[in-house]
Structure 1
Amino acid sequence: MTVGFDLDMTLIDPRPGMASVMNALGEEAGLPLDGEHFASNLGPPLDMVLRDFGAPEGRIPELVARFRELYPEIVVPGTVALPGAHEALEAVRRAGGRTVVVTGKYRPNAVRHIKALGFEVDVVVGELWAAGKAVALREHGARAYAGDHLGDVRGALAAGAVPVAVATGPCTREELVAAGAEVVFDSLAEFPDWFSAFGAPEPAR
């Protein structure tokens, strides 16, 4: 069995570094980029965020490239694993399953986080958002996908995977349920008990 996981605010909390890197980019570029707002609403792709901040369309490719350059030294060192993250991944592995991280983040930086925090993950797929995540989830045969954002629920549903939500990000429990989440946890610390039932073989008839 394969289970998918989102990264930001599902497995990791990168918010302090995210605020710092966006503020640094804004100062360097002479643009009003709000790092605190960005860090409080993680999920959408970076180019979409920059457009929402009013960045000129012609500058977005260079801003994205510079953000990615600044990222490893500013964001990775201060990022921590969210409660239950290691245990959730281990629960799947202990049951003989595979884990795939599907994130909107630039893959090389996602891999840096995974290595820094010692996560054991089988596959990492980056730069997919919302229903677009279904491409990777279907490719790897994910039966469930855990995430913190409405976009993660949409991705799971589009892939035909069970949408598992954690209320650790910008979306409320009520919003996640309304979007179609089958189960909503306060944190991934609740995941292993749920997965032990979800992953159990059906009784013989």
Structure 2
Amino acid sequence: MAITIGFDLDMTLIDPRPGMAAVLNTLGVEAGLSLDGEHFAANLGPPLDHVLRDCGAPEERIPELVTRFRELYPEMVVAGTVALPGAHAALEAVRRAGGRTLVVTGKYAPNAALHVKALEFEVDLLVGELWAHQKAVALREHGAVVYVGDHLGDIRGALAAGAVPVGVATGPCGRDELVAAGAEVVFDSLDAFPAWLETRLANGL
């Protein structure tokens, strides 16, 4: 049976920060709320409803705000998003090893799929709207043996699923934090992932 390797999306495979800041700022202007897009973009990871709640958005307005954010997203975020260093090579390394690639993200799945298409990522499976320990549901369902992410929540999700937790220090969480959370290894970028995967497979992943 082919192995399945899971990846987070934001700040693991892609850098959407300029667009994410812009869309949240626009949402704040439209809604008459004080929403800090720059802070949001610098701390990507938690689901949008959590972010809005933390920003003080009234609970009864959160569903409409999430819907509007998702409407604005394709035009404001997708085109300006770039692949992080090593992202394509990491996905290709899994394929070269005969494996399947799985993206599990907290992002709304249709918008996540737009990034995958725009950046021509070879992704076999995509699951959205799962965060931290919730990611373990998809990782277990699809038999992921490794999960790669930039956030403490990603490491927790991997551990909860019994997958090897791999950190990449390209997001808001530093190397020491990721190691402390339980990451088996932490890379400065995904450029290091193919060699690690080859060695790990040779030693019986």
Shorter-chain TM-score range? over 0.9
Aligned to 1:27, which of 17, 29, 32?
29
- Give the total of aligned pairs: 202
Which amino acid is 2:74 matched to? P
2:6 corresponding residue in structure 1? 4
SS of residue paired to 1:75: helix
For 1:120 and 1:178, locate their aligned partners in 2 and report how far apart those are by CA, in whole Å: 31
For 1:131 and 1:157, locate their aligned partners in 2 and report how far apart those are by CA, in whole Å: 8
For 1:152 and 1:135, locate their aligned partners in 2 and report how far apart those are by CA, in whole Å: 12
What 5-or-longer segments of structure 1 have no aligned partner? none
SS of residue paired to 2:202: coil
Aligned ranges for residues 78-117 of structure 1 at < 5 Å? 78-117=80-119
Task: State the 1:201 CA deviation.
Answer: 6.1
SS of residue paired to 1:199: helix
Task: State the 1:199 CA deviation.
Answer: 1.9
2:148 aligned with 1:118 = no
SS of residue paired to 2:12: coil
Comparing 192-201 with 167-176, greater Cα deviation is found at 192-201
2:11 aligned with 1:15 = no
For 2:96 and 2:179, locate their aligned partners in 1 and report how far apart those are by CA, in whole Å: 28
Aligned to 2:157, which of 143, 155, 158?
155
Which amino acid is 1:106 matched to? Y
For 2:129 and 2:121, locate their aligned partners in 1 and report how far apart those are by CA, in whole Å: 19
For 2:161 and 2:136, locate their aligned partners in 1 and report how far apart those are by CA, in whole Å: 4
Q: What TM-score does the superposition give when structure 2 sets the normalisation length?
A: 0.98
Which whole-Å deviations, capped at 9, do the CAs of 1:16-68 have from their partners, x for residues lacking one? 00000000000000000000000000000000000000000000000000000
SS of residue paired to 1:124: strand
Which amino acid is 1:67 matched to? F
Which whole-Å deviations, capped at 9, do the CAs of 1:177-197 have from their partners, x for residues lacking one? 000000000000000000001
Q: What TM-score does the superposition give when structure 1 sets the normalisation length?
A: 0.98
1:169 corresponding residue in structure 2? 171
Which whole-Å deviations, capped at 9, do the CAs of 1:76-129 have from their partners, x for residues lacking one? 000000000000000000010000000000000000000000000000000000
What 5-or-longer segments of structure 2 have no aligned partner? none
SS of residue paired to 1:163: strand
Task: State the 1:200 CA deviation.
Answer: 2.3
Which whole-Å deviations, capped at 9, do the CAs of 1:157-186 have from their partners, x for residues lacking one? 000000000000000100000000000000
1:70 corresponding residue in structure 2? 72
SS of residue paired to 2:166: strand
2:186 corresponding residue in structure 1? 184
Root mean square deviation of aligned Cα? 0.6
Which amino acid is 1:150 matched to? L
Which amino acid is 2:29 matched to? E
For 2:201 and 2:22, locate their aligned partners in 1 and report how far apart those are by CA, in whole Å: 40
For 1:134 and 1:96, locate their aligned partners in 2 and report how far apart those are by CA, in whole Å: 23
* Moved beyond 4 Å, runs of 4+: none
2:128 aligned with 1:129 = no
